[in-house]
Amino acid sequence: MRWLITALLVALAGSGLAQFTPRNPECIAPAGAGGGWDFTCRSVAQVMLDLKLIPQPMKVTNVTGGGGGVAYANVVTQRNNDPNLIVAASPATTVRLAQGQYSRFTERDVRWLGAIAADFGLVAVKADAPWRTMQELVASWKADPAKIAVGGGSAVGGQDHMKVLLLGRAAGIEPRNIKYVPFDGGGEALTSLLGGFIQVFAGDASELRAQVQAGTVRVLGVMAPRRLEGVYANIPTLRELGYNVEWVVWRGFYAPKNMPTEAYEFWVRALRQVERSPEWARVREQNALGKFSMLGAEFQVFIDRQVNQFRSLSRELGIIR
């Protein structure tokens, strides 16, 4: 009898039936539709379904507010053991954690799953804007900073704001003179740019690809270590233009802290399979994303280090004391 039970368990494990399978899988995008977190959820959800890693389409829920803080608090306090939930994250998440902007919560209140791509910051204006180059924009910006509103999909002190402050510092503009307008996600910031309510958009490459192809925006520079491919192939890096600014945006996820171990391991394995798949390679190519693969325990160590780095940078830029 013991032999039969053992054999049955081995067979079940080998067939995958004894492993965790998500029911009603869900991905929270902690901002509105059209931004980087929304893109992360929807693109990964589609590839997971295509690869048959999940048994049904993944629900994508947009939870707006607080630069991701509302979603973070909801996961920690209301869904802390949900095995079916993953949440999109990026340096925008770790910046806010470093600054203590997520109320009393810290990076240790969730479990970090991994990151599987790298996005890159950029600076864009409307296609009919008077500035055709970054140098022209910077000249106008320095002449009268109050006349140029720069918007981004993060709160004051958040990721997009930090991009603007770093660029302003490299261009010789006093941080206190920079007019930054925060929005709840890149989609809202882009809508504001196209509507003429802001003059400059500090966002990410994945957020603007469709608008670049449509000719509605002009990208003046990318914050990547080298030129991107595809629709951005002819756009210079800020370093090429003489501004020592880079901003690499890893695209990844966290999960509820008390998620069962088998569920956590399932999602880590699923992300690893997504990252290695031809389907994900096509997503990266179509959206000018770079390779970035860090999962499980290694990613947790990376998050701890990045929070500490961003805390130091935030003090240096005068965002926190």
**What is the domain count for the chain?**
2
- Which residues constitute the domain of residue 90? 23-118+248-316
Confidence of residue 2 (pLDDT cuts 50, 70, 90): low
Clarify whether residues 134 and 213 are in a common domain: yes
Out of 177, 205, 232, a domain closes at 232
The token pair that represents 176 in the structure block = 């206190």
Out of 206, 232, 258, a domain closes at 232
DSSP letter string, 199-265:
SEEEEEHHHHHHHHHHTSEEEEEE-SSS---GGGTTPPBTTTTT-----EEEEEEEEETT--HHHHH
Q: What is the pLDDT of residues 49-90, one digit of tens each?
A: 999 999 999 999 999 998 899 999 999 999 999 999 999 999
Q: What is the pLDDT of residues 208-264, one digit of tens each?
A: 989 999 999 999 999 999 999 889 999 999 999 999 999 999 999 999 999 999 999
Give the torsion through C-alpha atoms of 184, 28, 62, 31, to 10 deg. 10
Clarify whether residues 130 and 220 are in a common domain: yes
Q: What is the pLDDT of residues 262-280, one digit of tens each?
A: 999 999 999 999 999 999 9
- What is the model's pLDDT at position 18? 46
- What is the model's pLDDT at position 53? 97
Clarify whether residues 35 and 58 are in a common domain: yes
Handedness of CA 184, 294, 109, 263 (dihedral sign): positive
Clarify whether residues 105 and 143 are in a common domain: no
Phi, psi of 291 (to 5 degrees): -75, 140
| Euclidean distance between CA atoms 73 and 268, whole angstroms | 22
Q: Does a structural domain hold residue 87?
A: yes
Q: What is the pLDDT of residues 26-42, one digit of tens each?
A: 999 999 998 899 999 99
- What is the model's pLDDT at position 14? 41
